[in-house]
Amino acid sequence: MEGPSIVIATEELAAFYNHKIEKASGSAKFDWSQFKGQKLVITASWGKHLILSFSHLTLRIHFLMFGSYRIDNPRDNRIPKMQLSINGHELYFYSCAIKQIEDDFGDLYDFTIDTMSPLWGGAEAKKSVMKKQNAYVCDVLMDQEIFAGVGNIIKNEVLYILKMHPERKISELSSIEVARLVKVTRDYCLQFYEWKVSNVLKRNWKIFRKKTCPVCQTKVTKIPTGKLQRISHYCEKCQSL
C-alpha cells in the first residue's frame, strides 16, 4: 500500500475519534487487555506508515505488499493481526506489521519528506536526490528517506510522465530535471489520492500493468531495474536514456 492509500485510511478511521475500544484481539503479539477502554485520539500517516494513537499507547501499522484493513465485513477464514471493537463497529487489520511506538511520534518522523504531507517541501527532496549522484532514478524514487510514501506504482507512473528511463543515473540529470522529478512525484501522489478516492485509479494507470504504451503502442518492458531490482514498467521508445 502506497502513501495516498494510507492517507485515505487515516480519514476513514477518523470516524472513530474519541471512541473507546470495547474489545481488542489478534495474532499480533500484544497484551490485548491493555487496549480495553482506550480512546482513539489521533490517526496520522507518514509515508506508508499508518499511525493510530490511543489514550495510553500508539501503534504504527505497515501494510507492506499484501496488507489490508476492513471496517466490519471481515475476510473469510483469515485471522486478523488486529481486531478492534469500537463505536459499534469491528476494525480488522490483515497481514500487516504492527509496532508500538512512542506517543510523541512527531519526533520520530520528518514530515517534510512525506510526499502526502501538507508539510512536504520539495526542497529537502531535491537536496537529497542531488546527493545520490551515483544512484539510478528508479531507486531514488523508492527511497523512503527521500520520497516517503512512493511505491512501485507511483515510481513507474512518474517515470512515464517524465518520459524518463528507470535506469537514468542522477549524475546525468540537470538541476532542472531533478526539480521536475520532485514536482511531478508530489503532484502524482496527490493525483493518485484523488483517483483512488473516486475509485478510478486503475483505469488511469498509463504504464503500470499495461501491455502497450498508450502513446506509441510499443510493447511495455517489464524488467527488474536498478540496485533494488524492483520491476519497472516502461516504454523503450518514449522513455529513452
Partner DNA sequence: CGTTTTGTTTCAGA
Partner DNA sequence: GTCTGAAACAAAAC
Question: Nearer to DNA by C-beta: 1 or 178?
Answer: 1
C-alpha of 80 from chain center:
21
SS3 of residue 195 by DSSP: helix
The distance of closest approach from Cβ of residue 95 to DNA in the complex, given in angstroms and rounded to an integer, is 3
The distance of closest approach from Cβ of residue 48 to DNA in the complex, given in angstroms and rounded to an integer, is 4
The distance of closest approach from Cβ of residue 229 to DNA in the complex, given in angstroms and rounded to an integer, is 8
The distance of closest approach from Cβ of residue 39 to DNA in the complex, given in angstroms and rounded to an integer, is 27
Enumerate binding residues for DNA (CB under 7 A): 1-2, 5, 27, 47-48, 62, 64-66, 68, 75, 78, 94-95, 97, 142, 144, 151-153, 202, 208-209, 222, 230-231
Q: What region, left, alpha or beta, does residue 180 occupy, with left being phi > 0 and alpha being psi -120 to 50 degrees?
A: alpha
Q: What is the C-alpha to C-alpha distance for residues 69 and 135, in angstroms, rounded to an integer?
A: 35
Question: Nearer to DNA by C-beta: 54 or 63?
Answer: 63
Sign of the CA dihedral running 213, 140, 112, 117: positive
The answer to whether residues 135 and 169 touch, using CB atoms and an 8 Å cutoff, is yes
The closest alpha carbon to 206, from 167, 142, 155, 140, belongs to 155
The closest alpha carbon to 148, from 3, 44, 9, 1, belongs to 3
Question: Nearer to DNA by C-beta: 40 or 113?
Answer: 113
The distance of closest approach from Cβ of residue 238 to DNA in the complex, given in angstroms and rounded to an integer, is 19
